[in-house]
Structure 1
Amino acid sequence: MERNRKDREGGVLSAVAELFDLPADVVAGLPHLEMVGSRQLYLEHHTGILAYSDTQIDANTTAGVLRVRGERLTLLAMTAEELRIGGRIAAVEWVEVKGG
């Protein structure tokens, strides 16, 4: 039964995306990342900052935790759904949160 529900929801999202000529990831609220070289990262659809230092920033998203590592990292801009990170970005990774 759970599988049928997921199939229906996926079908509805796909239909809405197609109807309005929108990318399915935008309709589903999935995170969207853009990088400008190794100096700036733009993230849409975050749900908050979990950790912040000049060498690591962890952002929560609907798809998991996005970890940005580097040097002289800073939040250049942040709104309820978007953030822009500047500095020398060395790595960007999805991390698994362990715990209960």
Structure 2
Amino acid sequence: MSKKGRMQRLAGLLELPQDIVLDLPRMTMLGNIQMLVENHKGIIEYTPELVRIRLKQGELVINGSDLVLGNLQVEQILVEGTMSEIRFNP
């Protein structure tokens, strides 16, 4: 069994959230106008049409219009605007 598999099993046995045990990002969306990204590793690129956020497993790419960053903290970023595409790049 891989390390990731063992960690997932341990999280299940201890009833711990997998995002904490596996160091995964947590993304919470409100429609297509707001996204809160927690447990990120920094901003790679930011324009009003594109936001790229570094994750432990790669990057999160958000395309849209009138995108703005708010609530910038070490552990979370709030992206607001009209989001038309969200994808993960390993």
| Residues 88, 12 of structure 1: alpha-carbon distance in 2 compared, 3 angstrom cutoff | closer
Q: CA deviation at 1:93?
A: 0.7
Match in the other structure for 2:83: 89
Alignment length (residue pairs) = 90
Identity of aligned residues (%): 27
Q: Which secondary structure state, in structure 1, belongs to the residue aligned with residue 9 of structure 2?
A: helix
Q: Is 1:54 aligned with 2:42?
A: no
Q: Equivalents in 2 of 1:10, 1:80: separation in Å?
A: 28
Give the TM-score of the pair, scaled to structure 1: 0.78
Structure-1 separation of matches of 2:3 and 2:31: 39
Which residues of structure 2 form unaligned runs of 5+? Answer: none
User: Where in structure 1 do 4 or more consecutive aligned residues deviate above 3 Å?
Assistant: none
* Structure 1 gap ranges (5+): none
The structure with more helix, counted as a fraction of residues: 1
1:16-95 to structure 2, matched below 5 A, reads: 17-95=11-89
RMSD: 1.8
**Deviations 1:5-48 (Å, cap 9, x if unpaired)?**
xx256424532x23542122321111111110010011111100
Q: Structure 1: how far apart are the matches of 2:20 and 2:86?
A: 21
TM-score by length of structure 2 reads 0.86
